[in-house]
Amino acid sequence: MIQITVLIRILHIVWVLLVALVLMAVSVRAHAGRDTDMDFLGQQKQYARVKGAFRSKADALDRRLGAHGLKSTGLNILIVAYKAEAILDIYAKGSDAASYEKLASYPVCASSGKPGPKRRVGDWQVPEGFYRINRFNPASNFHLSLGIDYPNAADKLKAHAADLGGDIFIHGSCVTVGCLPMTNTVIEEIYLYAVYARNSGQKTIPVYIFPFQMTQENMEKYEAIYRKQPEMLAFWHNLKQGYDKFIKNGNALTVGVMKDGDYDFGSK
């Protein structure tokens, strides 16, 4: 009889432990589910600067989007910057549309370096080429910032330095060593557009950085100035192929990289 009583007690303890383990597992899964299900917009709004940007900018951005027949949901964006003109353009489209249209244009607040690509750490150059956003930094030293994927595959093939540098951002404030500073108030708008796009499912946000607006007139102007630098002129002619293609139809470019580091934009 004593053995049966002990066995019953042991079974009761085991049952209690099993119930507790099941409840703990359910709780952990529910918590993990909340973290997973939270959309990118919700995650970003947990940061004070992003939350403040939404309070001050969201209504104006919604009105601008509405004027173009767009919404903050189902939004795709593409960023184009021109170094010589110190302009950064935001292009936008609905996620189901083929071509982009210009949505907004902002002045770049400060610059460093000179015309030409970035090829090494410490050269102060702003990169030139075809990139994408690879980081959202809601707690940047420069208010808010969007990282670009410099050095890309083309940069690595073209450069000869051991260290090409990195950490190139579109950011707030008005100081730079190779980045694109936009001031705090402007970066809030750009950052929110990028958050909207990412939250709408756009995994790749293109960033095209050109030395100047690559019209034929400007090409002739810069060819005369840099006629003794044939390597850079050849690089710019390669960029112009992508520039012309984008300006012509407003479609995001399909960008490949050839063995010599030149960009390939396909046959279409």
Model-level pTM? 0.85
Active-site pick, 160, 171, 174, 237: 171
pLDDT in tens, 211-248: 999 999 999 999 999 999 999 999 999 999 999 999 99
The CATH architecture that domain 41-264 belongs to is: Beta Barrel (2.40)
Asked if 12 is an active-site residue, the reply is no
Among 115, 158, 133, 121, smallest CA distance to 262 is for: 158
Residue 219 has which token pair? 């090409």
CA–CA distance, 174 with 16 (Å, rounded to integer): 62
**pLDDT for res 266:** 86
Under 8 Å between Cβ of 106 and 123:
no
Active-site pick, 31, 68, 143, 179: 179
Among 209, 187, 111, 196, smallest CA distance to 143 is for: 187
**pLDDT for res 20:** 52
Each domain of the chain, given as residue ranges in start order, spans 41-264
**pLDDT for res 35:** 39
**pLDDT for res 30:** 39
Among 158, 181, 189, smallest CA distance to 54 is for: 189
**pLDDT for res 14:** 54
Q: Can you list the residues of the chain whose pLDDT is less than 70?
A: 1-38, 267-268
Residue 27 has which token pair? 């709780």
Q: Tally Cβ neighbours within 10 Å of residue 67.
A: 9
Q: How far is CA 126 from CA 106, 116, 264, in A?
A: 17, 8, 22
**pLDDT for res 8:** 57
